[in-house]
Each structure stands twice: as structure tokens, then as C-alpha cells.
Amino acid sequence: MAKTIKDMRPVYVIGIGLDRYQRYSERSYIEFGLIAIRAALADAGIPWPEIESFYLGTAMMGMGPGRAMIKHLGATGIPITQVENASASGSTSFRQACLDVASGLTDISMAAGVDKPALIPRADGGSPGDLIGKMLAPVHHFALLADQYREQYGVTPEQLAAVAVKNHSNGSKNPFAQRQKIRTLEEVMAPPYLSGPLNRLHCCPIGEGAAAVIVASEDAMERLKLPTKRSIRVMASASRSERLYEPGENWDVALTRETTEQAYREAGITANQLDVVELHDAFTIEEIIYTEAMGLSEEGNGGRDIAAGEFDIGGRCALSPSGGLLSMGHPIGPTGVGQIAEVVRQLRGEAGDRQQPGANTGLTHMVGIGAVCLVHILQCA
Amino acid sequence: MKKPIFRLDNGTPRLLGTECKSCQHRWFPALSFGCERCGAHGEELIDREFNGTGRLLSRVEVAEETGSYTLAMIQLDDGPVLGGIIEDPDTPSAGDRLEAFGTTIDDKPGIRFRRCSG
Ligand SMILES: [Zn+2]
């Protein structure tokens, strides 16, 4: 009988570290990758030799960038695996590290993400050809989805823009965010538009950055006398790929719904227990449709609920308190790991002026083109 | 050399796709690796020509330096969903009937969509 992560040994996040996401620079990935890794070790209060396996989420760095980076921490000979799963690379590296600990292969593992993806085509993609198959540049795909959603449910341009206003406001309080500027509704609705009603503030910035988290077993936490109140339990790890959906069915929504439902079942929780959610808001419309797919809003009400402030910090559930991909940024490899870091910070009560009060249960969600979806659920120990 | 994705039959566009004989799933453009629905491959997959008529699902205006255009997702009557560019003096809205028509794009034959004439 197949098991879920909760049927195996309990896994806890014991350390988190980030380097601020930013525009492409001349820095080496080794430099800022090590900043995030050393920050995670310092946060956990353990030295590098305690790490027994290392997973690196990276999509744009070519072959084998892991050891060239971590050898500078002292080469201990541990297994290193690069994980490429498009935008979900970091989330997948986290899942692999959790599975090592849950299965008993290791007591302490690290998942990191690092990328310098500035050389990929910009989000606006370029002009489509004469006639195209289903694959469109993401900005056009999501602008078309926004139009379809508007037809079905009547979402207003103001509601769509409210997502970007909220997430930029959250990101303005996050020292690790690429965009730290508050934006007004007028700015988010102003031309020039890249596609349909979407200007650049409706689209996430793709830059460079690094994130790292450390996961551990109860054995390791006892041996190292780590404080349990700063340790956050991993309750579920769900990973799925697209099926073939019926014509006209929204496959972005369907994939997220299936993966999230699986995670809820594994964790034994329902959507209304979530206090914080970090989701894949690469484009504003995504936050609206995923909010509904996750059961946080009724179908067709996502835009209205977000615009009404229900998902602000201090609302019934804080959506993208880090600023999300829209404001914190989306450096690809690190993004999913950075989501874990934010939810852990929130559940520890260490998120400062972007703290969701009383946060006890959180969820992270990434989709990757290709197309995959990963959902993790975390809870205070 | 890229395979053509359409041909003009006395000026009427025919879209070149694939049908699975095992489960009748159809897709565009043509790809003969295997059926996404049932996994059938080889001789189970046959070339199919689809009519360029269908229904508009969604559309957006895209403004670029070289000019603006209307991009649309279209549900073909023959099954597949595809993206295309609309050229019509009155921009159609969701649910409207569309048809493909042959035109010249960058000195090469191409296809655009417009409201159904009939
Ligand atoms: Zn088939």
C-alpha cells in the first residue's frame, strides 16, 4: 500500500535562508547561493557538516552547478542532486529533501534554489505566428484566461488589479522582495499593456536570487537540542502533472484543484483552516483562479473577495504575504523554496510587520510549465 | 523543414491535424508520437484535415511597436482548441462563430480568423 509523507517519519523545517531576489547582475550564483545557505544554517543553529543530503532547484544554470557552490562550505561528500522542474524546481527540491528525512535515509537534509535566469525571453514573449497550437507565451495565455474568466464571472479590471496592489503592498514590507514599492490601483491599470489588460505590474519580474531551507527528523532535533517552537512540521507534499482535460475545461484550475485536494487529504485539513498561502501568482489572474481552485473562495468570487480585503494580511487568510511572485519575484529555481521560507517565518510568528496574526497552518503552491503542480502544507509543531 | 500546418482548398483553409482511431481524440497541429488520451500510436494515428470554423472562447488586444492585433482562443467545430489572430472590422466576442480565411503574411500564405460570413 502506497504511503503519504505523513505516514512516514515526521519532518520539520528547522532553518530558512534567503538572498534578496533582484534583477540580473554580474554576481556569480555561487556568491548569493552561499549567502542563502549560510543564512539557513545560522537560522537552524547547525554547522554545514550536519547536512546529509543536498537538493538544488535550478532550471537555467546548465549541468551540475551544485557542487561548484557547496564545496566552499567544506566538501563533505554528501549526495548532491540538481532538480529541474520548471517553475516548480525549488518546490520539487524541497519535496525530495523531505522524502529523504521521512523515509529515514537521512536525519537532516537541505533544499536550496538558485538561478540566474535573465537570459530567457521576457514575459511578453513576442509576436505569435500565423496560426498557433495551444502553447502561447505565458502573458498571452493568462490574458486570454482573464478574458475567459471575465466572460464567465464578470471580474472587473479593478478586481484584477487589486491582486497586484495587495501583493506589492505585502512585498514592500519584505526585505527579500525584488519589488519593494507600494503600487496604486491607477498604476496597476495604466498603459502600456503587454496583453489585454495586463501591464507589467500584472506580471512577475524574473530575476536572480537564492533560497535555502533545512529539514530534519525528531531524532536529529533531540540530538541537536533544537527549539521545537521554531520547528514547523511538513504535513503534506503533493506533486502532480496535467491529465488530458475536456475541451473548454480550464486545465490551470483543474491541475491546482486536484493537487491541492490531495494535499488537504494527506494533511487531514480543509481550506478554511489555512492562515497563510503562498501561491503561484506569476500573473494576477492566477491568484484569482487558484484561490477558487483551492476552495478559499466560491467559484466566481475570487476577484471580489481579494478586492474586498479578505486575503490581506490580517484578513481571514493571508494570500501571498511575501508579496508573491508578483512582488517578491520569480527567479525560477529559488521561488518554491522561498515560499517555504515565508510560510515558516509566518508560522513561527517571526514575519514582523507582515505577520498574519495567529498563523498556525500554511500552504505553498507552484505550477511549472510542462505542466506540473506541487503543493505543501505546513503546520506549527 | 517545418511541416505545413494548413493548406488552402480553393481558397478555403484546411487545418492539418491528427486523429486517434482508438479513441477518436483529435489534435492540432499534427503530431504522430502517440495519443495524449489513450496512448495509441503508429498506425492508430491518422492525418486529419479540420475545418477552419469554430467558436470564439476568449480574446485579447495585443499592442506591439509594429501594430496591434487581436489574439484569440478558438474552439474548432472539429474538436481541437487553438490560438489564432482575428482580422475583422468588428471585434467578435466570446461565443461568436468564426471562420479561418487565407491571407498573405510577410509575403507568405497565412491564416487569420473572422466572423462567419454565412
Ligand atoms: Zn487515443
Check A140 against B72: CB less than 8 A apart. Answer: no
B45 HSE (CA, 13 A, CB side): 18
Q: Is the alpha carbon torsion for A256, A262, A263, A265 positive or negative?
A: positive
Q: Is the pLDDT of residue A337 over 80?
A: yes
Which of B20, B59, B73 best probes binding to A when mutated, by most A CB atoms within 10 angstroms? B73
Find the angle CA(A222)-CA(A225)-CA(A230) to the nearest 5 degrees: 100
Residues in B 80-109 with any Cβ partner in A closer than 8 A: 80-85, 93-94, 100, 105, 108
Quick one: pLDDT at residue A122? 45
Quick one: pLDDT at residue A129? 53
Q: From chain A, pick out residues whose CB is under 8 angstroms from the CB of B63.
A: 192-193
Confidence of residue A291 (pLDDT cuts 50, 70, 90): very high
Quick one: pLDDT at residue A19? 98
Is B53-115 assigned to CATH 2.60.40?
Answer: no
Q: From chain A, pick out residues whose CB is under 8 angstroms from the CB of B82.
A: 131-134
Q: From chain A, pick out residues whose CB is under 8 angstroms from the CB of B72.
A: 144
Q: Where are the domains of chain B?
A: 6-50, 53-115
Residues, chain A, total?
381
Check B60 against A244: CB less than 8 A apart. Answer: no
**CB-count burial class (<10 Å; 0-12, 13-18, 19+) for B67:** exposed
Q: From chain A, pick out residues whose CB is under 8 angstroms from the CB of B80.
A: 247
Q: Write the single-letter amino acid at A155.
A: V
Average pLDDT, chain A: 94
CA B44 to ligand 1 center in whole angstroms: 8
CA A133 to chain centre: 29
Cβ-contact A218, A341 below 8 angstroms: no
Quick one: pLDDT at residue B64? 81
CA A88 to ligand 1 center in whole angstroms: 29
Quick one: pLDDT at residue B102? 92
Smallest CA–CA distance from A145 into chain B, residue = B58
What's the whole-number mean pLDDT along residues A268-275? 98
Check B28 against A133: CB less than 8 A apart. Answer: yes
Q: Is the pLDDT of residue A132 over 90?
A: no
What's the whole-number mean pLDDT along residues A161-176? 98
Quick one: pLDDT at residue A135? 62
Q: From chain B, pick out residues whose CB is under 8 angstroms from the CB of A128.
A: 71, 83, 85
Find the angle CA(A208)-CA(A210)-CA(A212) to the nearest 5 degrees: 165
pLDDT tens per residue, range B89-116: 888 999 999 999 999 888 888 899 999 9
Min Cα distance B40 → chain A (Å) is: 14
What's the whole-number mean pLDDT along residues A99-108? 98
Q: Catalogue the long-range contacts made by B106-112 (C-beta closer than 8 Å, 24 or more residues apart).
A: B108/A130, B109/B8, B110/A130, B110/A131, B111/A130, B111/A131, B111/B6, B111/B13, B111/B52, B111/B84, B112/B84, B112/B85, B112/B86, B112/B87
Check B82 against A131: CB less than 8 A apart. Answer: yes
- The count of CB pairs under 8 A between chains A and B is 81
For every residue of A346-368, DSSP letters joined together read HHHT--GGGPPTT--EEEEEEEE
CATH of the domain at A254: 3.40.47.10
Cell of A282: 506569476
Smallest CA–CA distance from A135 into chain B, residue = B83
Say if B15 is an interface residue toward chain A (CB within 8 Å): yes
Cell 466560491, located at residue: A298
Per-residue burial over A15-51, b if 16 or more Cβ lie within 10 Å, else e, is bbbbbbbbeeeeeebbebbbbbbbbbbebbebebebb
Into how many domains does chain A fold?
1
The range of the structural domain enclosing residue A149 comes to: 1-120+129-381
Q: Write the single-letter amino acid at B37.
A: R
- State pTM to two decimals: 0.95
- Residues of chain A whose C-beta is under 8 A from some C-beta in B? 127-128, 130-134, 136, 140, 143-148, 151, 192-197, 244, 247-248
Going by the DSSP 8-state scheme, the letter that residue A23 receives in this structure is S
Quick one: pLDDT at residue B106? 80
Position with higher pLDDT, B90 vs A170: A170
What is the C-alpha to C-alpha distance for residues A96 and A81, in angstroms, rounded to an integer?
9
Check B82 against A134: CB less than 8 A apart. Answer: yes
Say if B23 is an interface residue toward chain A (CB within 8 Å): no
Q: Could you tell me which residues come within 8 angstroms of residue B118 by beta carbon, excluding any fewer than 6 positions away?
A: none
What is the C-alpha to C-alpha distance for residues A294 and A184, in angstroms, rounded to an integer?
27
> Crossing angle of helices A284-293/A138-153, nearest 10°?
60
Check A130 against B58: CB less than 8 A apart. Answer: no
Q: Is the pLDDT of residue A128 over 80?
A: no
pLDDT tens per residue, range A35-78: 999 999 999 999 999 999 999 999 999 899 999 999 999 999 99
Confidence of residue A250 (pLDDT cuts 50, 70, 90): confident
The partner residue sitting opposite A131, judged by closest CB among B6, B60, B93, is B6
pLDDT tens per residue, range A13-25: 999 999 999 999 9
Confidence of residue A1 (pLDDT cuts 50, 70, 90): confident
**CB-count burial class (<10 Å; 0-12, 13-18, 19+) for A327:** buried
Cβ-contact A293, A257 below 8 angstroms: yes
Instruction: Kindly give the parts of chain B with pLDDT less than 50.
Output: 1
Identify the weakest region by mean pLDDT among A118-132, A190-204, A237-251, A321-335.
A118-132
Quick one: pLDDT at residue A376? 98
Min Cα distance B28 → chain A (Å) is: 6
Q: Is the pLDDT of residue A124 over 50?
A: no
Quick one: pLDDT at residue A131? 60
Q: From chain B, pick out residues whose CB is under 8 angstroms from the CB of A248.
A: 57, 75, 81
Residues within 5 Å of ion ligand 1 by Cβ?
B 20, 22-23, 25, 35, 37-38, 40
Confidence of residue A126 (pLDDT cuts 50, 70, 90): very low
